[in-house]
Amino acid sequence: MTQQRQPTILVERQDAVTTIRIDRPHVRNALDRQTARDLSAAFRDFAADEMAAVAVLTGNGGSFCAGADLKELAGGVDYEPWATSDDGPTRPLLDKPVIAAVAGHACAGGLGLALWCDLRIAEESAVFGVFSRRWGVPMSDGTTVRLPRLIGMGRALDMLLTGRAVSGREAVEIGLASRLVPDGQALPAAQELARQMAAFPQTALRSDRQSAYRQNGLPVDQALAQETALAQAAREREAQPGARRFAAGRGRHGSFDDL
């Protein structure tokens, strides 16, 4: 009798926030082929869930993700490039934001997963790095593209060519991580931030996010025209009702508590 494989991607939704957990703590949440495919499926399900607004990605057992499972690769199982294969977890740009809650290691492909997310909440003891540099395993998860765009070519090459470890604090200082929190707080901090983001009018939030991603590489006039086109639906659906709430006294003095 064939033993049924235990799920290694765990998904839960509370109101508009979906939390996706990688559950392979015995290998610091390294992804074998099936787990990578299951993670990609979880992202697709989140994107298709009309009730879900923001996702949080994390790993169980004190690590975010140690990248691809090199023991599986060593056994002769070829890995699929995550950024270009149909089932690759870092291929699609979703229409909704994802926040990485990073504890422990986010290295090699785990760094790529964190970079694919919109925001990264890092614990003080978090470690980012291209540790696969030691073994001749190239990046195939988008790291060589997203890392320079996020932190600049000089800093990206320092990480890519040396494989050195970057702490949570340094990650924030160089723009790799969005926010720094004490150990044990990345997941609750990311979930709270997700709840705050989910409470905003979503059409404008998503159109602004899309414009920020799509403007890269465009001439300024084309990028501005694209911004205008992407914002049209929010202008029609959300802008005037939001302005009326402001005129009625809501959200004054920068308050986000009474929107």
CATH topology of domain 9-198: 2-enoyl-CoA Hydratase; Chain A, domain 1 (3.90.226)
The predicted structure's pLDDT at residue 251: 67
Q: What is the pLDDT of residues 188-201, one digit of tens each?
A: 999 999 999 999 99
> Cβ(68)–Cβ(109) under 8 Å?
yes
Sheet of 54-59: strands edge to edge? 9-14, 17-22, 54-59, 98-102, 119-123, 179-181
Indicate if the pLDDT at residue 1 is higher than 60: no
Q: What is the pLDDT of residues 120-146, one digit of tens each?
A: 999 999 999 999 998 888 898 999 999
Q: What is the pLDDT of residues 166-217, one digit of tens each?
A: 999 999 999 999 999 999 999 999 999 999 999 999 999 999 999 999 999 9
Q: What is the pLDDT of residues 75-101, one digit of tens each?
A: 777 777 888 888 889 987 899 999 999
The pTM assigned to this predicted structure is: 0.93
The predicted structure's pLDDT at residue 16: 98
DSSP 138: -
Q: Where are the domains of the chain?
A: 9-198, 202-251
